[in-house]
Amino acid sequence: MHKSEIAAIKDQVRSLPAEQRVELIKYLADSLSAKGQESIPLKFGKYSETGRRMATESDFRIAEWHPTDRELNGN
């Protein structure tokens, strides 16, 4: 697809009503998502022999994001 084709599609989308834009977004999201792949649960101990230590509760606490009011306000 050429750049001019994308530009033409963008112009067409700009003229669509909001409901049709939402419908288009849903269509694109569905077309990009993987279909028919069954999830496989992890097996306990699968990664236990990597030689690395297991994560602890404190590791998870350290990794948590604790935003400041300034970060939450976008400043």
Q: 3 lies in a domain?
A: yes
Q: Cβ contacts of residue 24 below 8 Å, gap of 6+?
A: 13, 16
- Whether 58 is covered by a domain: the verdict is no
Number of domains in the chain: 1
Range of the domain at 27: 1-32
21 contacts: CB under 8 Å, gap ≥ 6:
13
46-66 confidence digits (pLDDT tens): 888 888 888 899 999 999 998
Does residue 8 form part of some domain?
Answer: yes
**Taking the complete model, does pTM exceed 0.85, yes or no?**
no
71 occurs within a structural domain: no
Per-residue pLDDT tens over the stretch 7-53: 999 999 999 999 999 999 999 998 888 777 778 888 888 888 888 88
2 band by pLDDT with thresholds 50, 70 and 90: low
- The answer to the question of residue 44 being in a domain is no
For residue 60, give Cα distances in angstroms to 42, 52, 54, 55: 20, 16, 11, 7
Q: Is residue 45 part of a domain?
A: no
Residue 29 confidence (pLDDT): 92
pLDDT at 6: 92
